[in-house]
Structure 1
Amino acid sequence: MAGVRRRDRHGRGLRGPLTPPQAPVSRTRAEKFDDLVEDEVRRLGARWGRELSGVVFGVEEVPDVEPGYDGPVPLGRTVSGDGGPAVRIMVFRRPVEARASGEQELGRLIRDLLVEEVADLLGLSPESVDPSYDSPDD
């Protein structure tokens, strides 16, 4: 039976991914972060859908800062739609992940950040945008 191989050359068995790419365990940190932001945007949209209809939400790795900038690294930013199609609210993944000590705190930080940006955009207090703002419970 020459030519039939049952194992690889070094006898360790077949190599390859252990889980299919669509399995949740295969998701990257960036994809999980995007999911957290999307869930929070969906939750805010359920309450403020009409007011947020012209707002585009997005995630960027890091903020663009001016050379010589000496302040704290921003976690998010609202960019007005001057001549553009819409207002954009950006969340910066790396600084947010650096400030969170775990998965639960990461979700809470994203929630509070987006609530603050939406409140600032609408001219409301964060507590009126989301009553759970700044609370330790999810």
Structure 2
Amino acid sequence: MSRSRRTTVQAPTDRGRGRDRHGRGIRSSATGPFLPPLRTRIDSFDLTIASTVDYLRMVWPDELADVVFEVAPGPMNVIPGVGVERYSVDTRERRITFYRLPIQRLSRLHRNDEFHQRMVIESCVFRGVAELLGKDPWDLAPDRFRHF
């Protein structure tokens, strides 16, 4: 028996209308309907940057009014002899860019918990803003650390 060499052209299927490719319906969240959504490292990093920047803008409203804060995955190049930058400051454009991956992965923490990770991120924000304003990082918020 010989097979027919005719090729059949299938009609394009209608995908992406609320179903996955197996037709089982829309996927639910990984945590289910009764639990809060998961918080990722990226979300917590962005939240820490934003809350620290908001605090510093409250303390220094005139100096930080036109400053742009950005978050990038990493710098484009490595500085020989120095290593990978954690942040970069552009004084002409009044822009500070924080690099998420070097801050999160290359910081040597003596205790790797959420509190110490947050402290490292906040210290990078304070150092970046201090470099932009030409001040010492401890002078940016002297009353913040008085209760210790």
TM-score by length of structure 2 reads 0.66
Q: Does 1:104 align with 2:115?
A: yes
Higher CA-based Rg: 2
Percent identity (aligned): 28
Q: Encode CA deviations 1:16-50: one digit per residue, 9 max, x unaligned.
A: 324369x7542322122111100100011110111
Give me the whole-angstrom Cα distance separating, in 2, the residues matched to 1:103 and 1:18.
22
Contact 1:115 1:130 in 2 (8 A): no
SS of equivalent to 2:115: helix
Residue of structure 2 in register with 1:17 after alignment: 29
Q: Does 1:73 align with 2:84?
A: yes
Give me the whole-angstrom Cα distance separating, in 1, the residues matched to 2:98 and 2:32.
29
Q: Which runs of 5+ in 1 are unaligned?
A: 1-14
Query: What root-mean-square deviation, in Å, do the aligned CA atoms of Structure 1 and Structure 2 show?
Result: 3.0
Residue of structure 2 in register with 1:87 after alignment: 94
TM-score by length of structure 1 reads 0.70
Contact 2:67 2:94 in 1 (8 A): yes
Q: Which runs of 5+ in 2 are unaligned?
A: 1-26
Q: Encode CA deviations 1:62-114: one digit per residue, 9 max, x unaligned.
A: 11115x73422111110233xxxx41111111111111522111211121111
Give me the whole-angstrom Cα distance separating, in 1, the residues matched to 2:40 and 2:100.
13
Q: How many residues align?
A: 117
Contact 1:56 1:88 in 2 (8 A): yes
